[in-house]
């Protein structure tokens, strides 16, 4: 089930440099960064969703991951999208004008129907 984002800022310490080894948490520059500034462009159209399937691991999305979904963005061929299939949310790859509930070229199970995005 989609979860609304927190309206108040969530700020985290920002390290003053990249870390080659060790923990960057050991040395902060004193600056703070609102993580929602990085992840959210359209707050009223954005929600987070916990992934409940390993089917997108090939694309770097694992079971249990939390994804940020922006409904204002328009999908293109090859985009990873959240779609509604039989009243369930699924994460799949956009294939042309329709969402592929899997095309063999993306390593997903093949289905022969269109779904709404």
| Domains delineated in the chain | 3-39 (no CATH), 43-106 (2.10.109.10)
Q: How confident is the model at residue 39 (pLDDT cuts 50, 70, 90)?
A: confident
pLDDT in tens, 55-80: 899 999 999 998 888 888 888 888 89
Distance of CA 5 to the CA centre of its chain: 13
What integer best gives the mean pLDDT of the chain? Answer: 71
Q: How confident is the model at residue 111 (pLDDT cuts 50, 70, 90)?
A: very low
Mean pLDDT for the stretch of residues 3-14:
60
- Which pLDDT does position 61 carry in this prediction? 92
Confirm if 67 and 51 have CB atoms less than 8 A apart. Answer: yes
24 or 81, which is more confident?
81
Q: Which residues contact 64 (CB under 8 A, 6 or more apart)?
A: 50, 51, 52
What global pTM score does this model have? Answer: 0.59
- Which pLDDT does position 33 carry in this prediction? 74
Helix (H) or strand (E) holding 30: strand 28-34
């Amino acid at each position: 089930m989609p979860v609304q984002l927190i309206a108040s800022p969530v700020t985290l310490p920002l390290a003053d440099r990249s870390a080659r080894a060790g923990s960057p948490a050991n040395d902060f520059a004193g600056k703070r960064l609102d993580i929602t500034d990085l992840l959210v462009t359209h707050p009223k159209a954005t929600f987070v969703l916990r992934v409940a399937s390993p089917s997108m691991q090939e694309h770097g999305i694992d079971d249990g991951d939390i994804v940020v979904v922006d409904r204002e963005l328009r999908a293109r061929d090859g985009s990873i999208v959240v779609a509604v299939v039989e009243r369930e949310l699924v994460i799949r790859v956009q294939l042309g004008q329709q969402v592929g509930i899997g095309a063999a070229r993306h390593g997903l199970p093949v289905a022969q129907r269109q779904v709404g995005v």
